[in-house]
A and B are shown apart, each in its own frame.
Chain A
């Protein structure tokens, strides 16, 4: 996984609350392998392109200053709905490294961490002010810095955010989480032995065929 330390990049404001992961990537693309070269075009596909495949000029990522944005500044509950990790893969394929919002869908939030994207939760008024600045100064850049846990706005204001110590360490190092957990093999075995005594009924009988 690509580590996350600091990203200074053009940010795009997305004002709509409750942006669901069906909107981020429609279901018909979930069968596609994420290595296909056109994967980034699946991002926001049905609001970004019309039926003929032409760009919809009103969609923010189709406006010149925001093209290629690497930071998304969203509204409440961005990434709600389906658990599809493809929503994060499509953002990553486009080049997005961080999503800033007042709240995020819980599963989307977890999926970000697994793919080197930093989810940043800031108070609603702070995020609204960031979006306003990005509308007023299209193409303005934001800086997201993980070690010091700060977002620096276009106006120079610096906002501190909270991030779990565990997730922070994993992102900074880009470490393989499964590899880390396999290092807990002794504890897992010990747990399984105790669990088998205390909740023996929880292991299902072999299903017949």
Chain B
């Protein structure tokens, strides 16, 4: 599948195996506005403004009215509004109900399609690979390059297929699957590779779940991760506002059905997992690879042979304020964050609401929907009432406390049960301690005040 999409987008061959790759979709957010400034200074126009789409997510506060915290961040959001207006780029800005996290609204609007190339100045762009798109994150210079030329010089990565087979146990979901994958191959295991997720477990997932899996490809080191399109994909895309319509839909569908890899297609690396081996999973350290079943204990660096690994584990435990041997289910949390481009979609909110229903939070707990439209859809189902009655804060859409760029951060030493994608030192705020987990597990932590095996709560 990867090879087919790649081959169809080669504009020209360069030296050293580099090709000039055509880009079908360019998503922009207010963190990538510097590229517009450089482009303007060099006197170069935006080549295909009709293939660019923008929203404000990183710097917008998620309190009522979606304001910004200060003049600096306000300036960034306003600059994006100005640049997109000047260039006639479609912008889902503050006040537009379609505004939301860039990796949530691309699919929601039908911009993300099988067989297209899609880039964004954000490392979680692999999310869109859930549709069978070739999607990857780029830096600021590459953003400028795409704006100017609609192409990128790229070298073909190696391919890796990760197959997950079997049915997931109750209480286990897509987030547990991707955390288990990262724990297995390591935070650098996918470097230089394009991942294809396959197998009956992935096939059985909804689009929201597949997006959760693809989203964290970069946490395994891979710039891109994808799932072959199928009836689940097509059903999701039908009637999305910016998806193909009429005759174009028929042509697109015919093309999409040719995309899946042929049986026996070679991959440079194959990895296999059994779904029944995967339990509700949480991270204990400061790399997403530091993930274990909730039934495990904090690992002991002294038991590790490799000196470098032992030292980095000890450093992680010191930062996290944890002692070896402590049962993970006894770790007390100070705060809960349910949101981010990994886990802020309707399926995620429903899973959290099933746990929250009829219970009360014992620590501050936020729900940050991925888009204004998801917020509305959740309210139409009454999920907001479930959350508010349980004591959660029901907020506006944005990246929020996943990255804290907007000022929404956890305090030093605060321990957060979070559905986001990174538990790096300082990620959710200077000195803040992050445990990654699924929305159901985060909701369970909110109502018990500690990391909790969601299977022990009656849902």
A residues near B (Cβ < 8 Å) are: 15-18, 20, 22-23, 26-28, 30-31, 33, 46-47, 75-77, 80-86, 88, 103-107, 110-111, 114-115, 164-169, 177-178, 181-182, 184, 187-188, 191-192, 195, 198-208
Contacts and interface: CB of A to CB of B under 8 A. Distances in A.
B315 to A, nearest CB: 7
B139 interface: yes
Interface of B: 8, 11-12, 14-18, 20, 22, 24-25, 31, 34, 42, 44, 50-51, 53, 59, 72-73, 76, 90, 109-111, 113, 115-116, 121-123, 137-142, 144-145, 148-151, 153, 155, 157, 187-188, 191-192, 218-219, 221-223, 241-242, 244-245, 248-249, 251-252, 255, 287, 289, 308-309, 311-312, 315, 403-405, 422, 424-427, 430
12 contacts: A17-B308, A18-B289, A26-B426, A77-B221, A166-B14, A181-B149, A182-B149, A187-B20, A201-B252, A203-B50, A204-B111, A205-B245
Given A23-B425, A27-B404, A181-B145, A207 B122 contact: no
Given A81-B422, A202-B24, A107 B139 contact: yes
B62 to A, nearest CB: 16
Please indicate which of the listed interface residues B142, B192, B311, B424 has the most CB atoms of chain A within 10 Å of its own CB.
Answer: B424
Contacts of B44: 178, 182
Given A16-B315, A28-B405, A106 B18 contact: no
Contact of B76 (A22, A27, A31): A31
Given A22-B425, A164-B18, A178-B145, A106 B251 contact: no
B311 A207 contact: no
B18 A166 contact: yes
A28 B252 CA distance: 42
A198 B116 CA distance: 12
Contacts of B116: 199, 202
B383 to A, nearest CB: 27
B385 to A, nearest CB: 31
A178 B45 CA distance: 12
A106 to B, nearest CB: 4
Given A16-B315, A80-B187, A22 B151 contact: no
B114 to A, nearest CB: 10
B57 to A, nearest CB: 14
Contacts of A105: 191, 221
A75 B191 contact: no
Please indicate which of the listed interface residues B24, B76, B111 has the most CB atoms of chain A within 10 Å of its own CB.
Answer: B24
Given A18-B287, A83-B138, A191 B11 contact: yes
Given A46-B430, A167-B16, 13 more contacts: A20-B287, A22-B426, A27-B404, A105-B191, A110-B142, A164-B15, A164-B17, A181-B148, A192-B22, A201-B113, A201-B248, A202-B113, A205-B245
Contacts of A106: 157, 191-192, 221-223
B123 A107 contact: yes
A166 B15 CA distance: 5
A201 B109 CA distance: 15
B405 A27 contact: yes
Contacts of B188: 17-18, 76-77, 80, 103
B153 A177 contact: yes
Contacts of A103: 188, 191-192, 221
Please indicate which of the listed interface residues A31, A103, A195, A203 has the most CB atoms of chain B within 10 Å of its own CB.
Answer: A31
A50 B59 CA distance: 26
A38 B290 CA distance: 34
Contact of A181 (B139, B153, B404, B426): B153
Contact of B405 (A31, A114, A164, A177): A31
Nearest to B407: A28
B100 to A, nearest CB: 14
A20 B148 contact: no
A114 B139 contact: yes
B187 to A, nearest CB: 5
Given A80-B187, A188-B150, A204-B50, A111 B139 contact: yes
A14 to B, nearest CB: 12
Given A83-B122, A201-B255, A207-B109, A184 B241 contact: no
Contacts of B110: 204
A205 B249 CA distance: 12
Nearest to A131: B308
A207 B422 CA distance: 33
A184 B20 contact: yes
